[in-house]
Amino acid sequence: MVQTVLETGPVAEESTSRATHINAYRLMLLARVLDDKFASLYRAGKIHGGVFLGRGQEALSVAVGLSLREGDIFAPLIRDQAGRLAFGESILDAVRTYLGSSLGPMRGRDGNVHRGRPLQGLLPMISHLGAMIAVVNGTLFARRMKGISGTVGAACIGDGATSTGAFHEALNQAAVEKLPLVLVLADNQYAYSTPNSRQFACQSLLDRAAGYGVAGHGVDGTDLCACLNTVGQAVAQARAGHGPQLVVAQLLRLCGHGEHDVADYVDTKLKSSPVGRDCLKVAEEFLRQQSWASETDLAAWRSEAIQRVEEAVATVQREPAPDPFAEEWTALSSRQLTELHDEESPGPVDI
Amino acid sequence: MVQTVLETGPVAEESTSRATHINAYRLMLLARVLDDKFASLYRAGKIHGGVFLGRGQEALSVAVGLSLREGDIFAPLIRDQAGRLAFGESILDAVRTYLGSSLGPMRGRDGNVHRGRPLQGLLPMISHLGAMIAVVNGTLFARRMKGISGTVGAACIGDGATSTGAFHEALNQAAVEKLPLVLVLADNQYAYSTPNSRQFACQSLLDRAAGYGVAGHGVDGTDLCACLNTVGQAVAQARAGHGPQLVVAQLLRLCGHGEHDVADYVDTKLKSSPVGRDCLKVAEEFLRQQSWASETDLAAWRSEAIQRVEEAVATVQREPAPDPFAEEWTALSSRQLTELHDEESPGPVDI
Amino acid sequence: MSVTYLEAIRAAQARALAEDPRVFIYGQDVGAFGGAFKATKNLANEFPGRVLDAPISEDAIAGLAVGAAIEGLRPIIEMQFADFSTVAFNQIVNQAATLYWRTQVPCPITVRLPCGATSGSGPFHSQTMETIYAHYPGLIVMTPATVEDAYSMLLEAVAIDDPVVFCEHKLLYYHLKADALPTEALPVGKARLAREGRDMTIVTYSAMVHEALAAADELKPEGWEIEVVDLRTVKPLDTDTVMASVARTGRLLCVGESWPWGGVSAEVIARVATEGFDLLDAPPQRLNAKDTPVPYHPNLWAAHRPTARSVAAAARKILRQ
Amino acid sequence: MSVTYLEAIRAAQARALAEDPRVFIYGQDVGAFGGAFKATKNLANEFPGRVLDAPISEDAIAGLAVGAAIEGLRPIIEMQFADFSTVAFNQIVNQAATLYWRTQVPCPITVRLPCGATSGSGPFHSQTMETIYAHYPGLIVMTPATVEDAYSMLLEAVAIDDPVVFCEHKLLYYHLKADALPTEALPVGKARLAREGRDMTIVTYSAMVHEALAAADELKPEGWEIEVVDLRTVKPLDTDTVMASVARTGRLLCVGESWPWGGVSAEVIARVATEGFDLLDAPPQRLNAKDTPVPYHPNLWAAHRPTARSVAAAARKILRQ
Ligand SMILES: Cc1ncc(C[n+]2csc(CCOP(=O)(O)OP(=O)(O)O)c2C)c(N)n1
Ligand SMILES: Cc1ncc(C[n+]2csc(CCOP(=O)(O)OP(=O)(O)O)c2C)c(N)n1
Ligand SMILES: [Mg+2]
Ligand SMILES: [Mg+2]
């Protein structure tokens, strides 16, 4: 059975092993199937707002999720369905958030990729790019202050987000504090429609590592083996106390920025180049080559994934939407400090 | 006569020449004397708010000012008295701003180091560290758009300010646009009381250049010759169209963060190390060694500097302070869009 | 031919680019792609070199605009969503807004903010920020509610010598249509009487103008004639027009989509209470979004913001007094 | 023994560190140096490893605090000047302020903002920012005016499970003294009657409380008894206490040091006008700083902010009606 629980544990030392690979592949497949389902629900008008897929980025993402273990911190970004599943997020959390179910972790208050469970180490992104890294720093800082060692925090980020001040401040902060941060940078060649050439001028974003005094790791983001190895090593280094690790993966977003976007701006040469390979196909081919999976296995895994996703969607579609009248309209945990306004207000005072 | 006008021009090719050196030294000296005067006015309670000196940083700063020419852009920071004078800012502008004269460029509205003349290319800093760099970018961007070539823009910055998001976004922006920006980083080992070890984790801030894809230049900031050479070269490179240049100088702040600060946190070992040398003394010694200046010359230059400063202060002290009743209390250039408030408001309407 | 609110914004930018060589546009994906909302569609093509993609660096985008303005250009910068202007906040409120006052050098930049809640957008793609920017001296804050105003006010924003925060409402982008682009407009800073009435004044702006008008429709069969004032710019705020309307109706409801604490509605009520107290026949009231982040789910979203229905309900309370 | 406002802030932090192992302090120069204003003097020594210098990275400072809060700690972060919190703005209003509402995980961080104008500080070291933060849902905004409140409210800020923006006024740091630290305090969110009077209510907060009290002194020989309400927290704002006072006096003046558009004074007047209209015997008025950046020169500065004198003048106008 595909593992979507936290016990998966670190993978560095066994990253080329059969079991790890199959597990990783099946998580990638599940993520792809789930993403595809969101895309079709979007086309059917069943989803409010945008849908953001991780197509083409599953190998990198799954490697992050699998390299972490229980008690670690994970701040995924918009293309990390695979990493989320690998880290232990349930399919239901994803579907409930996309469909706005009141039973989901965000209770319909926030949607799509803006979800998480902070107390389980899964940080729910805010939209402002770069802003989650310092939050991961804070969790790691807190662990150290509490005397807890061995925690790793992984934050995912895109090429475009490296241009934010928040990215810079947070990576530098992690370096100064020597925090066990693994910053996983998916260089998918575009930020929305903006190509790398309009985003940065260094040869490779890996060139940034030295400037922060952190270790840098480059990896082919289309190659699951490489991702498992490199991310696994980076996580191990961070866990061993060697400070922040910057992983830069080369790959291509094999979808629009969101499902509303046909992405005709993507350079066709890139699509046919090595970064344009579909990591899922590459991984599948590798399993075939190693004879680790038969066609029957592959087909069975796919149908199982489809079935799990369909079940989850069917379940969630029967769940209650949030009820504005039952909603507690306060942003404060300190209820007694909530102010009343407008229609709730007592109205003109008569004396 | 010490030149404090814009005609000084570029110095790269003649940076070791006698005239250049003497000119630079005399500007440094003038800056030092002016700074010392501000310090004594501060101690005498004659200055409102803080006083920030460039002591120990004059060699680097003067090199920036002298490397620029008329039509260039200069965004000095708090320790750039020397660079300002070299770029052509008058002593009066400095004194008037510190003393709040209504005749100064800031008319008492802003004070101390927060001064400039944007239309003469001298940008008045806002306090938020890092925030001026993008503004310099904008001026260079505009020049290009207007078809003006050959402009260079220099922005000064400290080690501490490299940790700001603004620094990062702007340097990256300049690199992407390949703007003729020269970013001059005075690594004076401390940001207020914070040592470099709590500010960044790379070996040298020069390691950052590659990450932005910009040229990097290291220099001994206590050595005038080296500063004139290196900064001159960086400016020449930028002018020649080779994109942003990052100059990183090693030196020590030979004063408190501001004059209120005794700076007892500064490591005594640093003070006695090469970065702790006083660039003014080093330059003076060099002039002596080269027999470019006699003791009489040196003494005469000093008294002339003192005289000019004293004259300026005496003049400004007779100038009118801003008058709140004559003040136009609007932040808008579009006068007709100014709103009236409070006491100016017409009061209750009777109908 | 009909033209949408979004097309009007695009047309205004095209015209500004065509008529004034000092104008350029800078922002994420505004170039060949035409912007996240297509507000700059084709402009990069039509005006080569003058519509440029920026890195994801809102602070530096705004900073660059200020520098270009110092050099005499007229930058229009687009924030992909108003919400993201929080990371350009410092350059807008401390750099751009203070430049003229400090140096006598004007800072003619236009900051386009796609604002406001739309269903399914959630806490970080829905914010209105007029309250925040209007608080700062040195900024003009425009909040057009109509296709005509979107067009003419954006042209004015570019022409004005001061920094203008131009709050476009995303909910109006595609749905709101006019027959043609306007050929004349009210002066900047003038509010508009969107509907005349004798029984009560609703003061509002941006998308809420349409909720207020719908509420007025709803109240008409009940015998109430509601006057609706569209502020157009919230800073400067046209107190005179507001006051004149309240003088006619004696009753005031202010409606804003921003959060209740210190919003436009507080400012309007404070002005009327201080300067036009005796004009009021009943206590003024206000209606705002709820004091929580903007929710994602349409059910919650619809309850979070004022709607024609809740505006009408609030109006009835006042009318009954 | 006497204790200053600043010493009270230091003492509150010392006590919080001593009593609660979850508390730590993070900010520029707060460690061995003791902070730009010495508000953390000796604390790094007394509490090793719990008072840490940060890089000049306000965004990351606030972000780190949120992460630590998620892990159950109680960070106090110091901005060197409130003005610089503009570059931490996003993390405060979008990350910290939304966390609880989105996830049910509280975010107990305290953001210390040395606020307010002092002579010679100029446009970027003088700002008050309570208006900006109070606008956002999810934040508590405290503005202590007394030594006692500086102490007790800072302790409460640390204890509260929500993010608190703690606005300390720099003008009070050294001059304002009390005999001793308080042993009890009003509950959070309760305003304080700083002075009783029957003729008019002045509602204010932070340093302006002292200008209002001085104005009340000035008006006493003229026969006026002025009541002064110190809001203490501006969000939540204690409408009940304000209303009760206005019910007694029938007259209201609101004084704020922030800029006029949409400040605390607008909010207070809007509340009284909407909920207590009939209590008013004269139009309420407000007095704020002028709508320009805060000037550097003492002459301009003194005219820019409300003072006892201008408060008294504004009060007289109302009293004459
Ligand atoms: C501060 C900020 N500015 C703008 C945006 C709008 N935005 C959302 S995703 C995106 C592109 C991100 O590109 P990249 O970081 O490369 O990630 P990718 O989408 O390629 O995975 C942009 C501009 C944002 N979320 N935050
Ligand atoms: C964004 C921001 N945060 C904090 C400050 C307060 N501050 C002013 S100068 C300074 C230290 C600057 O250090 P550095 O950049 O090294 O320059 P130096 O003073 O050493 O020349 C600090 C923290 C500021 N001006 N801006
Ligand atoms: Mg990308
Ligand atoms: Mg320094």
Q: What angle do CA B44, B45, B50 make, to 5 degrees?
A: 115
Residues of C involved in catalysis: 58, 125
> Is C273:B345 a contact under the CB 8 Å cutoff?
no
Q: In angstroms, what separates the C-alpha of C186 from chain A's closest C-alpha? A: 32
Q: Enter the tokens of residue D256.
A: 């704020």
CA distance C310 to D2: 55
pLDDT at B214: 98
Indicate yes or no: pTM above 0.80.
yes
Q: Is A132 in the pocket of ligand 1 (CB under 6 A)?
A: no
Residues 6 or more apart from D211 whose CB is under 8 A from it?
D204, D255, D306, D307, D308, D311
Question: Ligand 4 centroid vs B251 CA: distance in angstroms?
Answer: 9
Model confidence at B37: pLDDT above 80: yes
Question: Ligand 1 centroid vs C65 CA: distance in angstroms?
Answer: 21
The predicted model gives C183-210 an average pLDDT of 97
Residues 6 or more apart from A270 whose CB is under 8 A from it?
A189, A252, A276
> Is A45:A253 a contact under the CB 8 Å cutoff?
no
Tens digit of each residue's pLDDT (9 = 90 or more) over B194-225? 999 999 999 999 999 999 999 999 999 999 99
Q: Which B residues in the span 186-245 are in contact with A, Cβ-Cβ below 8 Å?
A: 197-203, 207-214, 243
pLDDT at C197: 98
* Dihedral, B2, B7, B8, B13 alpha carbons, nearest 10: -150
- In D176-319, the DSSP E strands lie at 177-178, 192-195, 200-204, 226-230, 233-235, 252-255, 285-287
Tens digit of each residue's pLDDT (9 = 90 or more) over B169-199? 999 999 999 999 999 999 999 999 999 999 9
pLDDT at A26: 98
DSSP classification of residue A204: -
Contact status of A292 with chain C (Cβ, < 8 Å): no
Tens digit of each residue's pLDDT (9 = 90 or more) over B303-335? 999 999 999 999 999 999 999 999 999 999 999
Number of C-beta neighbours around residue A269 at 10 A: 8
CA distance A174 to A181: 7
Question: Ligand 4 centroid vs B160 CA: distance in angstroms?
Answer: 5
- Kindly report the average pLDDT of chain C as a whole number: 98
Q: Enter the tokens of residue D157.
A: 């800020």
Residues of D in contact with C317 (CB under 8 A): none
Contact status of B296 with chain C (Cβ, < 8 Å): no
Chains touching D (at least 3 CB pairs under 8 A) are A, B, C
The predicted model gives D251-272 an average pLDDT of 97
The predicted model gives C250-262 an average pLDDT of 97
Q: How far is CA A311 from the centre of its chain?
A: 22
Q: Is A190 in the pocket of ligand 1 (CB under 6 A)?
A: yes
Residues of A in contact with C32 (CB under 8 A): 193, 265
- Kindly report the average pLDDT of chain D as a whole number: 98
Residues of D involved in catalysis: 58, 125
pLDDT at B12: 42
Residues B164, A164: C-beta atoms closer than 8 Å: no
- In chain D, the DSSP E strands lie at 3-4, 23-27, 51-53, 74-78, 110-115, 140-142, 164-169, 177-178, 192-195, 200-204, 226-230, 233-235, 252-255, 285-287
Ligand with smallest separation from the Cα of A78: 1
Residues of A in contact with D101 (CB under 8 A): 109, 330-331
Tens digit of each residue's pLDDT (9 = 90 or more) over C70-90? 999 999 999 999 999 999 999
Residues B192, D296: C-beta atoms closer than 8 Å: no
A&D contacts, CB < 8 Å: 165
DSSP string, A93-111: HHHHHHHT-TTSTTTTTS-
- Kindly report the average pLDDT of chain A as a whole number: 93
Tens digit of each residue's pLDDT (9 = 90 or more) over A216-268? 999 999 999 999 999 999 999 999 999 999 999 999 999 999 999 999 999 99
Please name the fold of domain C3-178: Rossmann fold (3.40.50)
Assign domain D192-319 to its CATH architecture. 3-Layer(aba) Sandwich (3.40)
The predicted model gives D15-31 an average pLDDT of 98
The predicted model gives B41-56 an average pLDDT of 97
Q: Enter the tokens of residue A212.
A: 């922060």
pLDDT at C1: 75
Q: Is C28 in the pocket of ligand 1 (CB under 6 A)?
A: yes
Strand partners, B247: B184, B217
Predicted confidence band of residue B229 (pLDDT cuts 50, 70, 90): very high
Model confidence at A346: pLDDT above 90: no
DSSP string, C289-301: --SSPPPSSHHHH
- Kindly report the average pLDDT of chain B as a whole number: 93
Residues B169, A163: C-beta atoms closer than 8 Å: yes
Q: Which B residues in the span 205-264 are in contact with D, Cβ-Cβ below 8 Å?
A: none
Q: Is A127 in the pocket of ligand 1 (CB under 6 A)?
A: yes
Q: Is the peptide bond before D236 cis (omega within 30 degrees of 0)?
A: yes
Tens digit of each residue's pLDDT (9 = 90 or more) over D182-235? 999 999 999 999 999 999 999 999 999 999 999 999 999 999 999 999 999 999
Who lines ligand 2 at CB under 6 A? B 78-79, 127-129, 158-161, 164, 186, 188, 190-192, 253, 257; D 28, 56, 58, 80, 84, 87
Domain ranges in chain C are 3-178, 192-319
pLDDT at B53: 98
> Is C115:C129 a contact under the CB 8 Å cutoff?
yes
DSSP classification of residue C206: T
pLDDT at B341: 62
Model confidence at A291: pLDDT above 50: yes
Number of C-beta neighbours around residue A13 at 10 A: 11
Does the fold of domain D192-319 match that of domain D3-178?
yes
Ligand with smallest separation from the Cα of A56: 1
Residue A127 Cα: closest atom of ligand 1: 25
Residues A175, B214: C-beta atoms closer than 8 Å: no
Contact status of A126 with chain D (Cβ, < 8 Å): yes
Tens digit of each residue's pLDDT (9 = 90 or more) over A115-172? 999 999 999 999 999 999 999 999 999 999 999 999 999 999 999 999 999 999 999 9
Q: Which of B109, B165, B198 is opposite residue D53, by nearest beta carbon?
A: B198
Tens digit of each residue's pLDDT (9 = 90 or more) over C40-68? 999 999 999 999 999 999 999 999 999 99
Tens digit of each residue's pLDDT (9 = 90 or more) over D63-105? 999 999 999 999 999 999 999 999 999 999 999 999 999 999 9
pLDDT at A16: 58
Domain ranges in chain B are 10-319
Residue linked to tokens 């190509």: A195
> Terminus-to-terminus CA distance in chain B, angstroms?
70
- Among C160, C148, C144, C58, which Cα is nearest to C107's? C160
Question: Ligand 3 centroid vs C56 CA: distance in angstroms?
Answer: 11
Residues of C in contact with B139 (CB under 8 A): 67-68, 70-71
Residues A176, B164: C-beta atoms closer than 8 Å: no
Please name the fold of domain A10-319: Rossmann fold (3.40.50)
Q: Which of A114, A143, A346 is opposite residue D71, by nearest beta carbon?
A: A143
pLDDT at B344: 47
The predicted model gives C141-157 an average pLDDT of 98
Residues 6 or more apart from D43 whose CB is under 8 A from it?
D10, D13, D14, D17, D25, D30, D34, D50, D51
Q: What is the largest CA-CA distance in chain D?
A: 60
Residues of C in contact with A330 (CB under 8 A): 291-292
Residue A52 Cα: closest atom of ligand 1: 19
Residues of A in contact with C288 (CB under 8 A): 341-342
Q: Which of C93, C263, C278 is opposite residue D135, by nearest beta carbon?
A: C263
- Among B73, B33, B25, which Cα is nearest to B53's? B33
Contact status of B111 with chain C (Cβ, < 8 Å): no
CA distance D61 to D25: 10
Residues 6 or more apart from A182 whose CB is under 8 A from it?
A64, A67, A152, A153, A154, A155, A231, A234, A235, A238, A244, A245, A247
Tens digit of each residue's pLDDT (9 = 90 or more) over B157-166? 999 999 999 9
C37, C53, C56, C89: residue to mutate for ligand 1 pocket, most atoms within 8 A of CB: C56
